[in-house]
Structures are given as C-alpha cells and as structure tokens.
C-alpha cells in the first residue's frame, strides 16, 4: 500500500531518490592557511523524497491530483507517507518548486503523470 496522508497512491509510482540520500551530513571549510576544517554528523531529517508517476508505469486520476493539490497548498503542514512496509512524516518541498508538478497524459482525459517533491522531517 502507498498513500500520502489519506490519499491513495498508485502502485506503479516510483520513489526515485529513495536510496540516494546520504546518511551523513558534512561541511568542509578551509582556514586561511588552507587546512581543512571538517564537521560531520548523522543526518536527522531533511532527506528529499521524490515520487514520480511516469506514463508507462503509473497514472494519477483527477481526484488524486486534486487531493494532492489541497495537501500541497498547506504551508508548513506535515503528512504521513506510507510506502509499502515503511512510514514516515513528510512535508512538501516548496524550496525547489514546483512541489507538485502534474501533466495530463492526453488532452481532455482525466489521467496524469506527476512529480511529487517531499522532504522527510
């Protein structure tokens, strides 16, 4: 089962960057003499979650698109994402717009491809 809050998501939806996120955050700066100063710690959130419905794998219907648009329009709101046997709290990623990008599959039809940009919090 896949769903965002109470909105069911199609089975063919892909989580493109699920295994791309680094478990460690690191910052490197250099002193005036050129020596590196390194800070590292485990990532405690802020992991991007990009869900993609492609035309050959999954389509969203109009009611799903409208329900997702309502969720995306809530500034600062967090939601439960259920992805098969995993669940987590996410919010829409408005810092890299659009947080929800939807394209009709065919003109005049109620099927859509989409990219849903979320952030694990």
pLDDT 10s digits, 11-28: 999 999 988 877 888 999
- What stretches of 15-118 show up as alpha helix (H) in DSSP? 62-72
- What stretches of 20-96 show up as alpha helix (H) in DSSP? 62-72
On the CB side of 54, how many CA atoms lie within 13 Å of its CA? 6
> According to the model, what pLDDT value does residue 7 have?
98
> According to the model, what pLDDT value does residue 22 have?
79
> Could you list the residue range(s) of the whole structural domain that residue 32 is in?
2-120
Maximum distance among all Cα pairs of the chain, rounded to whole angstroms: 63
> According to the model, what pLDDT value does residue 101 have?
97
Contacts of 93 (CB under 8 A, 6+ apart): 48, 99, 117, 118, 119
> According to the model, what pLDDT value does residue 34 have?
95
Low pLDDT (below 70) residues in the chain: none
Domain count across the chain? 1
């Amino acid at each position: 089962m896949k769903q965002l809050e109470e909105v069911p998501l199609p089975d063919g939806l892909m989580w493109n960057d699920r295994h791309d996120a680094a478990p460690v955050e690191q910052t490197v700066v250099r002193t005036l003499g050129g020596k590196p100063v390194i800070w590292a710690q485990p990532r405690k959130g802020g992991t991007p979650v990009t869900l993609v419905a492609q035309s050959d794998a999954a389509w969203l219907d109009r009611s799903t698109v409208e329900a997702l648009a309502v969720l995306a329009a809530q500034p600062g709101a967090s939601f439960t994402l259920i992805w098969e046997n995993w669940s987590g709290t996410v919010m829409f990623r408005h810092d890299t717009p659009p947080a929800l990008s939807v394209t009709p599959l065919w003109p005049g039809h109620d099927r859509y491809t989409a990219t849903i940009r979320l952030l694990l919090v």
